[in-house]
Amino acid sequence: MRQVPTPIVPARARQPATRSKRVSHRGLFLTREEMAAIAAATSTARDQLLVRTLAETGARVGEVLKLAPARLGQGYVVLPIEKRRQYEEKAVYLSPHSKLLHDLMRYAIEHGLGRDDCF
């Protein structure tokens, strides 16, 4: 018979969180320095662009992964959103000083991405 080792630290009994014990994530964000550190830790140019896109648009990871060159406009990005099995889109306008759109388009051209190919 095989014995399963017992955990060193016994598991705590989980109790449902009450309204007063719930943690609010509102107001939590990363600083520019932290986002730059995350982008610098990536290994490819594509990943750096995706991290920058997350930071500058506030989009979710799934929205950014579905991003294609056809969704880039003059000063904005159109992100696909799936809500309750319904497809919607939202336009996210970027700062006029942002070079993100230029860098995304340059990446798409250099890597031969088609109009509907995802980054």
Position 18 in a domain:
no
Mean pLDDT of 104-108: 94
Q: What is the pLDDT of residue 21?
A: 55
Position 10 in a domain:
no
Domain with 37, as residue range(s), is 32-109
Residue pair 110/45 in contact by the 8 Å Cβ criterion? no
Name the average pLDDT for the chain: 81
**How many residues in the chain?**
119
- Cα torsion through 107, 110, 113, 119, rounded to 10: -20
pTM: 0.69
Position 3 in a domain:
no
> Does the pLDDT of residue 79 top 90, yes or no?
no
Number of domains in the chain: 1
Amino acid at position 87, single letter = Y
